[in-house]
Chains A and B, each alone.
Chain A
Amino acid sequence: MSILYDEGQQAIATESRRVLEARTDKARLLGLIEQVGRHDEPFWQTAVEQGWTALAIPEQHGGLGLGLVELGLVAQACGAATAGAPFLTGSYGVAHALAAGIDPALAAEWLPRLASGDATGCVALAEGNAALPNLAAVTFADGRLSGTKRAVSGGLSAAVGLIWASCDGSPVLALADLAGAGRSAVDSYDNARLYADLEFAGTPARLVAKGDVAQALALDVLARLAVVTAHEQLGGAEALLHAARDFAVTRKAFGQPIGAFQSIKHRISEIYALVEIARANCIHAASSEGGEGFLLAAADARISATEAYDTASRDCVQIHGGIGVTWELGLHLHMRRARSLAVEQGNLLFWEDLLVSQLTGDKA
Chain B
Amino acid sequence: MSDLEAYRAGARAFLEAMAPTYGRDARAGNSVEQDLALGRKYQALKYEAGFAGINWPREIGGQGLGHLEKITFDAEEMRFGMPTAFFSISLGMPVPILIRYGMGENREHSAWVKERVVKALRGEEIWCQLFSEPAGGSDLAGLRTRAEPDGNGWRMNGQKIWTSWAQYSDYGVIVVRTDPSVEKHKGLTYFWVDMKAKGVEVRPIKLAGGDNHVNEVFFDDVRLEDSQRMSPVGGGFGVALATLMIERYTATDSAGFGPHLDRFVKLAHEVEINGRPAIEDARVRSQIARNHAMRAGLDSITSRAFQMMMAGMEPGPEGSLQKLVSVRSRQKLSELALDLQGSAGLAFDPHGSVKDNWGASWLNAPTGRIAGGSDEVLLNTIAERVLGLPQDHRPDKGVPFNKIPA
Chain A residues, CB < 8 A from B282? 349, 353
With CB as the reference atom, state the residue of chain B lying closest to A259: B389
- Most chain A CB within a 10 A radius of its CB, from B325, B386, B387: B387
Residue B267, interface by CB 8 Å: no
The B349-396 residues at the A interface (CB cut-off 8 A) are: 376, 379-380, 382-384, 386-393
Bound form: Cα–Cα A248–B282 in Å: 38
**Min C-beta distance of B176 to chain A, whole Å:** 30
**Min C-beta distance of A236 to chain B, whole Å:** 17
Residue A260, interface by CB 8 Å: yes
The B145-204 residues at the A interface (CB cut-off 8 A) are: none
In the complex, the answer to whether B285 meets A356 with C-beta atoms within 8 Å is yes
Residue A60, interface by CB 8 Å: no
In the complex, the answer to whether A356 meets B279 with C-beta atoms within 8 Å is yes
Main secondary structure of the interface of B (DSSP, over half): helix
Chain B residues, CB < 8 A from A277? 293-294, 297-298, 301, 321, 325
Interface stretch, picked from A21-29, A179-187, A216-224, A299-307, is: A299-307
With CB as the reference atom, state the residue of chain B lying closest to A363: B280
Chain A residues, CB < 8 A from B285? 352-353, 356, 364
Bound form: Cα–Cα A103–B292 in Å: 38
User: Which residue from A276, A284, A351, A364 sits with its C-beta under 8 Å from B318?
Assistant: A276
A interface size (C-beta, 8 A): 47
In the complex, the answer to whether A3 meets B307 with C-beta atoms within 8 Å is yes
With CB as the reference atom, state the residue of chain B lying closest to A364: B280
Main secondary structure of the interface of A (DSSP, over half): helix
With CB as the reference atom, state the residue of chain B lying closest to A248: B389
In the complex, the answer to whether A303 meets B290 with C-beta atoms within 8 Å is yes
Bound form: Cα–Cα A50–B132 in Å: 57
Bound form: Cα–Cα A262–B374 in Å: 14
In the complex, the answer to whether B392 meets A300 with C-beta atoms within 8 Å is no
Chain B residues, CB < 8 A from A295? none
Residue A141, interface by CB 8 Å: no
Chain B residues, CB < 8 A from A296? 296
In the complex, the answer to whether B390 meets A273 with C-beta atoms within 8 Å is no
Residue B289, interface by CB 8 Å: yes
In the complex, the answer to whether A281 meets B293 with C-beta atoms within 8 Å is yes
Residue A245, interface by CB 8 Å: yes
Interface stretch, picked from A51-59, A107-115, A263-271, is: A263-271
With CB as the reference atom, state the residue of chain A lying closest to B310: A4
In the complex, the answer to whether B292 meets A355 with C-beta atoms within 8 Å is yes
A260 and B289 in contact (CB under 8 A), knowing A280-B304, A362-B279?
no
**Min C-beta distance of A267 to chain B, whole Å:** 9
User: Which residue from B286, B387, B391, B392 sits with its C-beta under 8 Å from A268?
Assistant: B387
A280 and B389 in contact (CB under 8 A), knowing A266-B379, A303-B290, A352-B290?
no
**Min C-beta distance of A134 to chain B, whole Å:** 17
Chain B residues, CB < 8 A from A304? 293-294, 296-297
Chain A residues, CB < 8 A from B298? 277, 280
A260 and B389 in contact (CB under 8 A), knowing A276-B301, A364-B280?
yes
**Min C-beta distance of A95 to chain B, whole Å:** 27
Chain B residues, CB < 8 A from A1? 303
Residue B217, interface by CB 8 Å: no
**Min C-beta distance of A8 to chain B, whole Å:** 16
With CB as the reference atom, state the residue of chain A lying closest to B318: A276
A260 and B391 in contact (CB under 8 A), knowing A277-B301, A283-B304?
yes
A4 and B379 in contact (CB under 8 A), knowing A260-B390, A303-B289?
no
Bound form: Cα–Cα A272–B289 in Å: 21
Chain B residues, CB < 8 A from A105? none
In the complex, the answer to whether A284 meets B296 with C-beta atoms within 8 Å is yes
Residue B26, interface by CB 8 Å: no
Chain B residues, CB < 8 A from A42? none
**Min C-beta distance of B282 to chain A, whole Å:** 8
Chain A residues, CB < 8 A from B324? 273
Bound form: Cα–Cα A300–B251 in Å: 22
In the complex, the answer to whether A269 meets B318 with C-beta atoms within 8 Å is no
In the complex, the answer to whether B389 meets A256 with C-beta atoms within 8 Å is no
User: Known contacts A249-B388, A281-B300; can you find 12 more A-B pairs with CB under 8 A?
Assistant: A2-B300, A245-B388, A257-B390, A260-B393, A273-B321, A276-B318, A278-B297, A280-B304, A300-B297, A304-B296, A364-B279, A364-B280
- Residues on B lying within 8 angstroms of A by beta carbon are 265, 269, 279-280, 282, 285-286, 288-290, 292-294, 296-298, 300-301, 303-304, 307-308, 311, 318, 321, 324-325, 376, 379-380, 382-384, 386-393
18 contacts between A and B (CB under 8 A): A4-B304, A4-B307, A4-B308, A248-B389, A249-B389, A257-B390, A266-B380, A266-B383, A272-B387, A277-B325, A284-B300, A296-B296, A301-B293, A304-B294, A349-B286, A352-B285, A353-B285, A356-B288
